[in-house]
């Protein structure tokens, strides 16, 4: 059974209704197994063809959920060469507050988006990744930056 999803935070509800098609699947729905959902709630960002571009497991506070929506849409936009929109979404998420738990991941993907936006612009990518490694050196996202890029 599919029905609409209701979000108690106004900003989240507005973002979802403006930019996404929200569906709720009953845990007994066969599609849950097809989508390889293990734990509920799981939020998937899919494209029009149903290809998954981002997955977030379990509930999070509204500010982080907005970051997840921007991040998920950004990754999906990159896969269709929507680099300007991707960069704008990531910058919006990073600008909502000075620091947040998803900032390392947002900075990682901002580097990727800027790289492609600039026609394989190493310097644009490296600026975002330098910020990532300086601000969040122990994060899993900083560890994904090649060591040669952060060596002194």
The mean pLDDT value for 57-65 works out to 93
Work out how many domains the chain is built from and give that number.
1
The mean pLDDT value for 91-104 works out to 96
The mean pLDDT value for 31-45 works out to 92
Please report the pLDDT score of residue 1 as a whole number.
37
Q: Considering only CA atoms, which of 125, 57, 4, 124 is closest in space to residue 72?
A: 57
Please report the pLDDT score of residue 150 as a whole number.
65
Q: Residue-wise over 33-52: b if at least 16 C-beta within 10 A, else e?
A: eebebeeeeebbbbeeeeee
Please report the pLDDT score of residue 48 as a whole number.
86
Whether 4 shows a pLDDT value over 90: the answer reads: no
In which domain, by residue range, is 99 found?
2-150
Q: What percent of the chain has pLDDT over 70?
A: 94
Whether 3 shows a pLDDT value over 70: the answer reads: no
Whether 57 shows a pLDDT value over 50: the answer reads: yes
Here the CATH number for the domain that contains residue 85 is 1.25.40.10
For the chain, give the DSSP string. -EE----SSHHHHHHHHHH----EE-TTSHHHHHTT--SSSEEEEE-TT--EEEEEES---HHHHHHHHHHHHHHHHHTTT-HHHHHHHHHHHHHSSS--TTHHHHHHHHHHHHHHHTTS-HHHHHHHHHHHHHH-TTSHHHHTS-HHHH--
Residue predicted with more confidence, 47 or 73: 73
Q: What percent of the chain has pLDDT over 90?
A: 79
Per-residue pLDDT reduced to its tens digit, 131-150: 999 999 999 999 999 987 76
Whether 69 shows a pLDDT value over 60: the answer reads: yes
């Amino acid at each position: 059974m599919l029905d609409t999803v209701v979000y108690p935070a106004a900003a989240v509800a507005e973002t979802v209704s403006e930019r996404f098609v929200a569906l709720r699947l009953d845990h007994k729905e066969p599609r849950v197994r097809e989508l390889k959902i293990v734990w509920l709630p799981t939020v998937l960002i899919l494209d029009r063809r149903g290809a998954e571009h981002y997955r977030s497991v379990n509930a999070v506070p509204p500010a982080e959920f907005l970051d997840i929506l921007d991040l998920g849409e950004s990754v999906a936009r990159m896969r269709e060469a929507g680099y300007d929109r991707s960069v704008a979404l990531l910058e919006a998420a990073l600008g909502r507050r000075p620091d947040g738990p998803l900032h390392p991941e947002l900075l990682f993907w901002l580097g990727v988006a800027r790289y492609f936006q600039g026609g394989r612009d190493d310097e644009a990518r490296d600026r975002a990744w330098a910020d990532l490694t300086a601000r969040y050196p122990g994060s899993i996202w900083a560890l994904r930056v090649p060591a040669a890029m952060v060596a002194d």
